[in-house]
């Protein structure tokens, strides 16, 4: 089980490194694409935790898009 989780973590990290810019670049993303991208992570999160996890991911991404 630990190896499986480690493998998921490595795959997610690699994907975020390759494609993460499309989640944080305010000129390259709209809400529909953001929803689609976030929804792809649902299979990796326990069903009962998904609503909270989804909200947290959206909050983090939106905060990184706001000018400081």
Q: Where are the domains of the chain?
A: 28-40+49-68
Amino acid 49: pLDDT: 93
CA 62 to chain centre: 11
Average of pLDDT values for 4-23? 74
Amino acid 43: pLDDT: 92
Distant-in-sequence contacts of 36-45, Cβ < 8 A, 24+ apart: 41/12, 44/8, 44/12
Q: Is the pTM of this model over 0.75?
A: no
Amino acid 36: pLDDT: 87
């Amino acid at each position: 089980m630990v190896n499986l989780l480690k493998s998921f973590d490595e795959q997610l990290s690699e994907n975020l490194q390759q494609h993460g810019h499309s989640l944080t670049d305010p000129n390259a993303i709209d809400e529909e694409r953001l929803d689609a991208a976030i929804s792809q992570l649902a299979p990796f999160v326990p069903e009962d935790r998904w609503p909270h996890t989804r909200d947290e991911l959206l909050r983090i991404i939106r905060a990184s898009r706001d000018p400081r």
